[in-house]
Amino acid sequence: MAEALTLNGGTGGDVATSGRRDTPPATRHITTLAVENMHCGGCIRSVERALAGLTDVVSARANLSQRRVSIETRQPAATEEPFVAALASVGFKATPLVDERPDAAKADDADLLRRLGVAGFAAANIMLMSVAVWSGQAQDMPASLITLFHWLSAMIAIPAVAYAGRPFFVSAKGALAAGRLNMDVPISLGVLLATGMSLYQTARGLDHVYFDAAVTLLFFLLIGRALDQRMRTRATAAAQNLLGARVAAATVLNADGTAERIATRAIEPGMRILVAAGERIPVDAHLRVGESEIDESLISGESRPRHVRGDDRLYAGTINLSGAIEVEAVAREDGSLIAEIARMMASAEQARGRYVRIADRAAELYAPAVHILGLATFLTWLARGNGWEPALEAAIAVLIITCPCALALAVPVTQVVAAGRLFRKGIIVKAADGLERLAAVDTVVLDKTGTLTLGEPRLSAADKIPDDHLVLAASLAVASRHPYARAIVRAAERRGLRVAPAANVAESAGAGLTAAVGGREVRLGSARHCGLDAGEGDNATLWLRDGDRAPLAFPLADPLRPDAPAVIAALKAQGLAVEILSGDRAGPVAEAALAVGVETWRAAVRPDEKIARIEALKSQGRHPLMVGDGLNDAPALAAGHASLSPSTAADISQTTADAIFQGEPLSPVLETLAVARATQRRSIENFAIAIGYNIVFVPLAMLGLVTPLIAAIAMSASSIAVTANALRVALVRTRETPS
């Protein structure tokens, strides 16, 4: 699937491998391939390395949970064949990604479960026949009966190993054919050696057989792989559910007035679409005919419907709650907001920060070390005069127990869980190492307008304005796109008043609106426009003059976010320093700082002065988090140790920020910091689990104190422990978050 993404606004920009983000080019050309046999961190590295060496490739990002790789090129790719061939040369089967394939993912899950069921059934039956030997009763059995049990175990184990082990064998074969090693090589080698040695021992009539170990190993490995795949699917379900909200078909109005039902993917910008009550908006569009209430909870997280009229912008996936409306498409299906958010999520997931790179590098070096340890164990046992059977048994245990699955999963699985948790809270992480840097924050620097405040003027003391005056003012204001005029209209809508647009409204730039209503002249605008001295009121006040009546004031203000004081108090309670940097006038900034309880603030600050302050904090050894939304905040967002931006921010600010949060509350700042810290803790704990497991069990295996069966259980348990520990990120409680 090839596409060109224009990096302005919703696409989220390019993601750097580490550190801060440079300014991205205007357009990047992306080709996405599905990679079937990609199973671990080492596979990711091999895939990306193979593609990065091709001419014209800027970068390649592999996504383990979706089994995909996104290839960025300088020019549009004429064909995917060079990429497919490059991956085939290192043992990976890739195909062009034509469309979303949820059925394929379900088929993969079902296939793993079938193989898991076969392995479990076989292991249980082999265990039943082995229990007598384990319990010390073998001495009372005839040798012929013990041999019969061993042959019955072999008859069950060999086909079970062939079927249940196929995912590992195929992966290992592909890696070896390409001259490399991956995690499935030692697994396959251990299983095949254990099975082959047991078959040899059975044929000779000896007692040391490990059919149960080979099958049980596969059983636990398949449990771990199935849980890992299911966890990754659930962790990224938010973005997939978002894509699932797309409409399959829509009713398009033709030029001759007829209507026809077409596939949503066939909709082009400019097409007129009829959306009935209860239907989802198929693509991003502008309202053209009618008015309605739109449920935008999918996009904004707000449960309150938005009233739309005029040429309001509507987003794909949102629900039309009331009357039928006619809209005009402004983008294709793949250019909609939800598609851009899903791409942003995929970019954040497949990008990797410092901890992930460390784990990938360790896993890459680990695979050869496993084989060296296994060979050293075998040779050492032989050198000490032991027979080849016990030497091989010890080597098999080492091969099994040293599989680096837990180490490779340590960080990626944690970050996927964290990204999914934040996305469900309306927070989109965009930077590769954003969570790592957010976890180190000790200072929070906030812009005022649009960050501490809503950035949307609202009518203050609206309850003191009579309904008839508000309706009259709104009847003129509805004809204007000025923010203050829109605030008047919103105030009338919130009160539930029905506003009929006045006829022949004239707008004077910088002054106001004029219309004839009921034979009298009505004016809405500045003091001078309404016949008052310019000094009366202030710049944040509109006036309504109805004929010869005295003008009525409509004061407006940019209110604080509803939970801003509580969030600031919670940040300070955590020991974080908080200050305000704003380009606004001193009066409003001082008022906002007092209202939220911030003692350190600066007003009328230019962009270069914001950067200077951020750099001053960093020179003091602090790690500032910049939270801003305006065009003038973008340089400071880039300069900060970490950065957050609301979804209402300017395009360049959203592109620069490490994460974007949606909705009116400021509490996502607390949520993001809490999850970032929890992610860092879980990642370090996972490293400790993986390393500690090897420190304990590898020497025991080399000394022959761990049988292949115990090695199988211990290795699988370590991977499950790492995955289970990562899932704790989804359960972290942000107790400081205001309710």
DSSP string, 117-182: HHHHHHHHHHHHHHHHHHTT-GGGS-HHHHHHHHHHHHHHHHHHHHHHTHHHHHHHHHHHHTT---
Using CA atoms of 152, 154, 156, 162 in order, give the dihedral in degrees to the nearest 10.
-170
Q: Hey, CA dihedral for 565, 566, 572, 576, is it positive or negative?
A: negative
**One-letter amino acid identity for 449?**
T
- b/e burial code for range 516-554 (CB count within 10 A of at least 16 → b): ebeeeebbbbbbebbebeeeebeeebbbbbbeeeebbbb
Cα 17 from Cα 61, distance rounded (Å)? 10
Strand partners, 253: 259, 272
Token duo for residue 165: 């082990």
Cα 273 from Cα 314, distance rounded (Å)? 12
Cα 587 from Cα 605, distance rounded (Å)? 13
Is residue 707 within 8 Å of residue 392, measured between CB atoms? no
The one-character DSSP state at 453 is B
Cα 670 from Cα 573, distance rounded (Å)? 11
Q: Which of 722, 712, 88 is nearest to 417 (CA)?
A: 722
The one-character DSSP state at 482 is -
DSSP string, 569-621: HHHHHTT-EEEEE-SS-HHHHHHHHHHHT--EEE-S--HHHHHHHHHHHHHTT
Catalytic residue numbers, as ranges: 447
